[in-house]
Amino acid sequence: MRLFRLTTATLFRRKSWVVCAFCVGVLPFLLVQISSGTENPALLKPALAQATWAMTLLTSIFWGFYTAARQGESNARSGLGEYFLTTGVSAGRQLFEMWLAIFTYLAPLPLISAAICTLAASPALPDERSMWLATNIQYAILFLVVMAPLVALACAVASRLGSITGFMASSALAIYGLYGVGYLKLLGDLEGNALAKWVWTSSPHYHFADPTERLRYKLGAIAWDKFPLLLAYFGGIMLVYVALSRLVFRARAAA
């Protein structure tokens, strides 16, 4: 695990993870104070929950994918990947160790968000509080399942096409899955476009992993008997992206 330790130490010395921790752990409280939530106490806790998860998503996309892309490109172009190949560390193992190092910093973010929403934004009624806790736990799990393969994809694409392309590939998929598919469905329904409906059906529906609406309107947790199906859906997407990442990733720059 030498590459894992090297990547982990490199990210720690850059200290950009401090900004991520601030954006998720502190910034939502500041954003709520300058929002309309202070004018209506009933809106304060939903606003805090929304801001917390929004910061988690944005931080993961902009920091997580950028960092993964940067590491993937650096590993290939600096000669580090070729060095590890000569020591017996395969390309697949290199991709895994870099992914694991980046995800070590990324994984705590949804846990921090769930903790903030549970401790600082829970409803007063006991029944609603238990449902609120279950909702946050579910979405912390979904967040990890969704982001994990996108980090690997950013790293893999960047190793072959550069860090900008790697970052844009994963970011575009995440943003499209969170927000773009909704507009595509609306377009397909309005115009009766069969092609748009087919694209919508085959798209990654990451909006199912966004808890904003459920927390804002207290819609409750996903039924536990249906939650494994959602995990299986995102698990299938993960397998596709992991296979694609392994095919695309290279440990040495092209001659």
Closest alpha carbon to 241 in 145, 98, 161: 145
Looking at residue 35, its pLDDT comes to 67
- Tokens 């004018």 correspond to 39
Record the tokens describing residue 46, joined without a space.
């939903």
Q: Which residues of the chain have pLDDT under 70?
A: 35-42, 191-192, 254-255
CB 62 within 8 A of CB 151: no
Closest alpha carbon to 97 in 9, 200, 195, 229: 9
Looking at residue 56, its pLDDT comes to 93
Looking at residue 202, its pLDDT comes to 85
Report the predicted TM-score, pTM, of the whole model to 2 decimal places: 0.91
Looking at residue 107, its pLDDT comes to 93
Distance in angstroms (rounded) separating the CA atoms of residues 205 and 218: 21
pLDDT digits (tens, 9 = 90+) for 50-88: 889 999 999 999 999 999 999 999 999 988 989 989 898
Closest alpha carbon to 253 in 43, 72, 67: 72
Distance in angstroms (rounded) separating the CA atoms of residues 245 and 159: 10
